[in-house]
Chain A
Amino acid sequence: MMRKVLVTLAILGFALALLPLAYRAGVQDRPGALAAGYLDDAPRELGAANVVTAIVVSYRGFDTLGEVAVLFAATAGVGAMLTKKRLGPDAASGRGTPATEVLRTATGLLTGLLVMFGVYIFTHGHLTPGGGFQGGVVIATAILLNLMSRPESRLSHGLMTGIESLSGAAYVALGLLGAIFALGFLDPRILPIGRVGSLLSAGSVPLIYSVIGLKVGAELSGILEALKGDRE
């Protein structure tokens, strides 16, 4: 009872703190100087049609590198925690009920499409909404479908680790190339920025998003498999 009162008080208090913030901020009517700067300069400086991607991969590319590191650390943590040895032999879930016909058929049909769609998303991240993370997640959903339809199936753990490691290293290498051939670490202007709107534009942004897409796809698949609980 006491606890409920305290929880209620805490929620009310938190709402009290949020309220003036959200209210006073209101809705802006035009972007601030920094945002306007990005909007005006990004296409010109980087050749990226998608300004958000220009910010994510280039101007604030260091954040994205960190973001990759976060996901990587989480994968490492999950992988270390959920091994078969640690969970015990009977922890593996999903053994009892076989997948339905619908799921199995759909999986067969969708896997290829999903992977292709994922690749499309991360290679076109500089042109359309999307990017490496989104593409990677879509690829991972293909893996998830497979894991659900055939719980006994195994991903090749070595292959996943290999993709993850090498694509991560490739990202770092692309960043270093920026330091050598352009103005700084993670600078995408090591390749010509091309014409705004074409696939081969925005310097190395499509390349960076591709390796990120591969890495994220491999990592999320790894996490999904680890949660299944039968990893060696």
Chain B
Amino acid sequence: MNALEVLAKINPVAASGAVLVLVGLWGVMAKPNLFKIAVAFSVMETGVNLVILSVGYIRGRTAPILDSAADAASASARMTDPVPQALVLTAIVIGLAVTALMLSYAVRLKAGGGGSSIESYGEEKW
């Protein structure tokens, strides 16, 4: 098969999602600033959400809402997969909760007199 066919097989949503996941993961491991870690997690979660959506993506189909474009009779023939969309909704909210809590931790840690870098919170070890 030629390069074009390979390219056509790649899910564009999944690919961009995977890249975001890797970027986020890199941020989590390489950026010591507490707030940047929280942001890196947001990036990673966005990537994961894209990956989730990519599974429901079907070329040329419409959103799973009944309207003039798709009526009840032709729903399963003209709509994309609704399940990943339902799941991603939950995942987004959970990601939001994690980000909020992580930021709170960062605020609390900084208010306690520590630095912004995670390296200054390594007292417990071994």
- Chain A contacts to B: CB under 8 angstroms: 4, 7, 10-11, 14-15, 18-19, 22-23, 25-32, 34-36, 38-40, 42-44, 49-52, 55-56, 60, 63-64, 66-67, 70-71, 73-75, 77-78, 81-82, 86-88, 91, 127-129, 131, 133, 196-197, 216, 223, 226-227, 229
CA distance A20 to B22 in the complex (A): 15
Residues on the B chain within 8 Å of A56, using CB: 86, 89-90
CA distance A44 to B57 in the complex (A): 24
Distance of B20 from chain A, by nearest CB (Å):
11
| Contact A31 B104, beta carbon cutoff 8 Å | no
| Contact B93 A70, beta carbon cutoff 8 Å | yes
Given A38-B83, A40-B76, A128-B65; A82-B107 close (CB under 8 Å): yes
| Contact B111 A51, beta carbon cutoff 8 Å | no
| Contact A55 B65, beta carbon cutoff 8 Å | no
**Interface SS, A side:** helix
| Partner pick for B76 among A31, A196, A226, CB 8 A cutoff | A31
- Chain B contacts to A: CB under 8 angstroms: 9-11, 14-15, 18, 21-22, 25-26, 29-30, 51, 54-59, 63-67, 72, 75-77, 79-83, 85-87, 89-90, 92-94, 96-98, 100-101, 103-105, 107-108, 111
**Interface SS, B side:** helix
How many pairs of A and B residues are in contact by the CB < 8 Å rule?
165
Distance of A88 from chain B, by nearest CB (Å):
6
Given A25-B55, A129-B65; A77-B101 close (CB under 8 Å): yes
Nearest-neighbor residue (CB-CB) of B88 within chain A: A52
Given A43-B72, A81-B104; A64-B67 close (CB under 8 Å): no
Nearest-neighbor residue (CB-CB) of A73 within chain B: B97
Nearest-neighbor residue (CB-CB) of B11 within chain A: A27
CA distance A49 to B68 in the complex (A): 11
CA distance A35 to B51 in the complex (A): 18
| Partner pick for A70 among B51, B79, B82, B94, CB 8 A cutoff | B94
Residues on the B chain within 8 Å of A73, using CB: 97
